[in-house]
Amino acid sequence: DVKVTQSSRYLVKRTGEKVFLECVQDMDHENMFWYRQDPGLGLRLIYFSYDVKMKEKGDIPEGYSVSREKKERFSLILESASTNQTSMYLCASQTPDRVVNGYTFGSGTRLTVV
Amino acid sequence: QKEVEQDPGPLSVPEGAIVSLNCTYSNSAFQYFMWYRQYSRKGPELLMYTYSSGNKEDGRFTAQVDKSSKYISLFIRDSQPSDSATYLCAMSGSASKIIFGSGTRLSIRP
């Protein structure tokens, strides 16, 4: 079974801090994604990556950046955390030739910015 | 207008009832249709997928796709309390990017 591991389940950070959210997958998947999930708004795509050192903006990239130095690791960075970035953050991975298999998600990181 | 519309619920039904969950979409290029189940404090997990129009059955779950109406459904027969979760529809064209509905929260009362 593919495993997607997010390093923290819960995080509390202060406004203005630089925040790193880490995601690691163990099945050699090329594609990785970062979403945030908010009540009533569903899953919104922040950034995605189809290969090492490659990144593409999703629907809501403002205030975020990403890093993919190794195939198995995709990091989301909040450059200067703000209270409106309080949310559940979900990482997912996928192998591109198996679209029908969908994404495998991590368990999520619930981030609170105070 | 969102590409994928899903009623957020919450939906509460008694144990043993048949549950119907639905989504509509606007992009006729979508070919892959999926349903994810998300338990509280967990990430979504893929429950079922279908390609193009038609039905697919897996145990108590049936997924239906009507591309002419741009409408997909998930039916749960003999619903159980363990089915209580948020259900997200999702769809994709030929590329890898998947578009999600906002999710319907379902509660099965014992």
Contact A89, A28 (CB under 8 A): no
Closest by Cα among B67, B85, B68 to B76: B85
Chain segment A1-14, per-residue pLDDT in tens: 669 999 899 999 99
In angstroms, rounded to a whole number, what is the distance separating the alpha carbons of residues A11 and B58?
38
- A→B interface, C-beta within 8 Å: 4, 31, 40-43, 45, 48, 50, 90, 92, 94, 96, 99-108, 110
Cα Dmax for chain B: 41
Contact B44 A90 (CB under 8 A): yes
Q: Which residue has the higher pLDDT, B51 or A64?
A: A64
Q: pLDDT at position A94, please?
A: 87
Task: With cut-offs at 50, 70 and 90, classify the pLDDT of residue A55.
Answer: very high
Question: Which chain A positions have a beta carbon within 8 Å of B49's beta carbon?
Answer: 100-102
Q: pLDDT at position B98, please?
A: 86
In angstroms, rounded to a whole number, what is the distance separating the alpha carbons of residues B61 and B77?
7
Task: With cut-offs at 50, 70 and 90, classify the pLDDT of residue B26.
Answer: very high
Buried b (16+ CB within 10 A) or exposed e, B33-48: bbbbbbeeeebbebbb
- Report residue A91 as tokens: 């990482």
- In sequence order, what are the residues at sequence separation of 6 or more whose Cβ sits closer than 8 angstroms to the Cβ of residue B67? B28, B52, B53
Share of chain B above pLDDT 70, in %: 97
- Report residue B32 as tokens: 């892959």
Q: pLDDT at position B74, please?
A: 97
Is residue B34 scored above 80 in pLDDT?
yes
Contact B102, A41 (CB under 8 A): yes
Is residue A100 scored above 80 in pLDDT?
no
B35 CA: distance to closest CA in chain A (Å) = 10
Share of chain B above pLDDT 90, in %: 77
Is residue B49 scored above 70 in pLDDT?
yes
Is residue A71 scored above 70 in pLDDT?
yes
Inter-CA distances, B51 with A92, B79, B92, B97, Å: 21, 25, 10, 15
Please name the residues between 62 and 91 in chain B that touch chain A, using a CB distance below 8 Å: 88, 90
Q: Where does chain B show beta strands of DSSP type E? A: 4-6, 11-14, 19-25, 32-38, 45-51, 54-58, 61-66, 71-76, 85-92, 99-100, 104-109
Question: Which chain B positions have a beta carbon within 8 Å of A99's beta carbon?
Answer: 32, 92, 94-96
A13 CA: distance to closest CA in chain B (Å) = 19
Chain segment B57-99, per-residue pLDDT in tens: 999 999 999 999 999 999 999 999 999 999 999 998 866 678 8
Closest by Cα among B104, B87, B81, B86 to B14: B81
- Report residue A29 as tokens: 């998947």
Task: With cut-offs at 50, 70 and 90, classify the pLDDT of residue B38.
Answer: very high
B87 CA: distance to closest CA in chain A (Å) = 11
Contact A88, A38 (CB under 8 A): yes
Cβ-Cβ pairs closer than 8 A, A with B, add up to 54
Residue to substitute from B98, B99, B104, B105, interface A, most A β-carbons within 10 A? B98
Rounded to the nearest 10°, the torsion over CA A90, A91, A95, A96 is: 70
Task: With cut-offs at 50, 70 and 90, classify the pLDDT of residue A103.
Answer: confident
* B16 touches A at CB < 8 Å: no
Is residue A95 scored above 90 in pLDDT?
no
Is residue B6 scored above 70 in pLDDT?
yes
Q: pLDDT at position A101, please?
A: 64
Q: How far apart are the first and last CA of chain B?
A: 37
